[in-house]
Amino acid sequence: MNNYRNYINGEWLESVSDKTIQNINPANVKDVIGTVKLSTREEAKRAVEIAYDAFRDWKNTPAPTRGRIVMRAARLLEDNKEELAQILTREEGKTIGESRGELQRSINVAEFCAGEARRLNGETIQSELPANFAYTIKQPHGVVALITPWNFPVAIPVWKIAPALVAGNTIVFKPAESTPSTAVRVVEIFEEAGVPKGVLNLILGAGAEIGEEIANHAAVKAVSFTGSTEIGVKLYGQCASRGAKVQCEMGGKNPVVVMEDCDMDLAVESTAQGAFGSTGQRCTATSRAVVIDRIADEFVERIVERAKRMRLGDGALPETEMGPSVDEKQFNTVLRYIDIGREDGAEMLCGGKHAEGNGLENGYFIEPTVFDRVTPDMRIAQEEIFGPVLSVLRVKDFDEAMVVANDSQYGLTSSIFTGDPNLIFRFVQEIETGMTHINSPTTGGEAHIPFGGIKMTGIGEREQGSTALDFYTELKVVYVDYTGRKREGNLY
Ligand code: ADP
């Protein structure tokens, strides 16, 4: 059994707290992986102070040197890929294939950010004055707080830690309560890669205490958060009052639009992957299928048939297609939304309950669930469920499909299935999401491509890709006058 420790000032320290929670395998609740001590506010404050003290030296370390450390972390992630994938599956429940995919994404992100360390460039700018010029440099903020969720407990920390380090910030990292094993391993990897002491600090604890403590600490200049909209918006408000920078990646209610001329096999399989892959616990999961009436019966029949064929089980088994909900709380949330869907009058065509047989009753497994004849006003059409639940909304034509698809407070990702180039380009133009996919699932992304959403999904700069370092740097503008003389008059 693991007893997880905090990592502060280069040392692994046991919290003095007497509050603990257990880390449980969601595929089999009898498998207790470890015990997490929920750290105290004092410990969180100390982590921030240590990061503050470490900042000056780290900032003055040349960016390519910082990048080399991140590159070493990429190599270590690669060397330890299988071990981390196994830990991830046991702790979070996703299938081993999904875990390996998440590890590969993390490696790619670390590699990409390491390369960016040699491109942390500014620009030179012509002046209106003779013998003058201006230039810009990118500088780190200082201490940044990274607050992460449980659904991608390796990739999300890596895609925040790597750019934060490359930019020259020091870090206090607070992972989700339910995924401490992966958080500890990620930090161990950066430690082994050579991150100097005090530069990266890990503090385990409750969001409402530790998360709030670090996000509101005066020395924390920027907060990068991934999680629920409720908490993200709250942090945004709190940080605004002291001018701290905020980046939030929050909820989604991602639609696929299925047109009459679609490749039906592709549309069904991609929707199933998007809706039930990772047990629907991705912010990019497909949760609404907006389908043209004339083909809706066929689509519904086939997606239900596919949902019923999903092989549920322990993610560690190679044949498993879908794992459990991450914990009891999430399991109960999903079941509650299924009840709400029924009460609101949607037609539940399959799933809807705790899966049984082959030991599934020992884990938080919910049968893949499809609701038909969902209307935009229903709560299951509007609220993020984060489980294997798909809502089908029937529409008469493309114009109505766009109104329905955009009828959401969220705007992360979307997809359309059609062979008509006119509709594809109209869709790209009109859909209100930060990312969109054509004839492919709503999920997925690449390390060197920006990631993020609009509306209530995203606040601040995009993560990853060409924009990965934007949030972690401030731009300084420098005016250089090399006339050696007092300036005549005033330009303006
Ligand atoms: P999820 O539903 O994905 O768990 P949350 O928004 O509750 O989303 O949690 C995401 C992260 O935010 C977790 O690390 C959690 O501990 C942290 N968190 C939760 N509440 C707060 C809070 N009030 N302030 C700061 N962080 C919080």
Catalytic residue, chosen from 102, 213, 249, 367, is 249
Atom of ligand 1 nearest to the CA of 215: 25
350 is catalytic: no
231 alpha carbon – ligand 1 mean position (Å): 6
Q: With contact defined as beta carbons under 8 Å apart, do 310 and 407 qualify?
A: no
pLDDT digits (tens, 9 = 90+) for 158-176: 999 999 999 999 999 999 9
Burial class of 83 by CB neighbour count within 10 A (0 to 12, 13 to 18, 19+):
exposed
pLDDT at 88: 98
Whether residue 25 has its Cβ less than 6 Å from ligand 1: no
268 alpha carbon – ligand 1 mean position (Å): 33
pTM over 0.85: yes
Whether residue 228 has its Cβ less than 6 Å from ligand 1: yes
pLDDT at 487: 83
Q: Six-digit token pair at 362?
A: 């020992």
Return the residue whose CA atom lies nearest to atom 26 of ligand 1. 211
Q: What is the torsion angle, in degrees rounded to the nearest 10, for the CA atoms of residue 440, residue 443, residue 448 and residue 451?
A: 120
| DSSP character at residue 245 | E
Q: With contact defined as beta carbons under 8 Å apart, do 171 and 200 qualify?
A: yes
Pairing between β-strand 124-126 and β-strand 143-147 as defined by DSSP bridges: unpaired
Question: How does pLDDT run along the chain (492 residues), one tens digit per residue?
Answer: 789 999 999 999 999 999 999 999 999 999 999 999 999 999 999 999 999 999 999 999 999 999 999 999 999 999 999 999 999 999 999 999 999 999 999 999 999 999 999 999 999 999 999 999 999 999 999 999 999 999 999 999 999 999 999 999 999 999 999 999 999 999 999 999 999 999 999 999 999 999 999 999 999 999 999 999 999 999 999 999 999 999 999 999 999 999 999 999 999 999 999 999 999 999 999 999 999 999 999 999 999 999 999 999 999 999 999 999 999 999 999 999 999 999 999 999 999 999 999 999 999 999 999 999 999 999 999 999 999 999 999 999 999 999 999 999 999 999 999 999 999 999 999 999 999 999 999 999 999 999 999 999 999 999 999 999 999 999 999 999 999 998 877 666
Atom of ligand 1 nearest to the CA of 149: 10
Separation of alpha carbons 205 and 162, rounded Å:
22
Atom of ligand 1 nearest to the CA of 230: 6
Burial class of 106 by CB neighbour count within 10 A (0 to 12, 13 to 18, 19+):
buried
484 pairs with which residues across the strands? none
371 alpha carbon – ligand 1 mean position (Å): 29
Q: Using alpha carbons, select from 397, 441, 455 the residue that is nearest to residue 423.
A: 397
pLDDT at 490: 67
Domains detected in the chain: 2-250+457-477 (3.40.605.10), 254-438 (3.40.309.10)
Whether residue 177 has its Cβ less than 6 Å from ligand 1: yes
Whether residue 204 has its Cβ less than 6 Å from ligand 1: no
In terms of residues, how long is the chain? 492
Separation of alpha carbons 288 and 286, rounded Å:
6
262 is catalytic: no
Top mutation candidate among 148, 150, 152, 231 for ligand 1, by most atoms within 8 Å of CB: 231
Pairing between β-strand 124-126 and β-strand 245-249 as defined by DSSP bridges: unpaired
Please report the DSSP string for 248-310 in residue order.
EE----EEEEE-TTS-HHHHHHHHHHHHHGGGG-STT-EEEEEEEHHHHHHHHHHHHHHHHH-
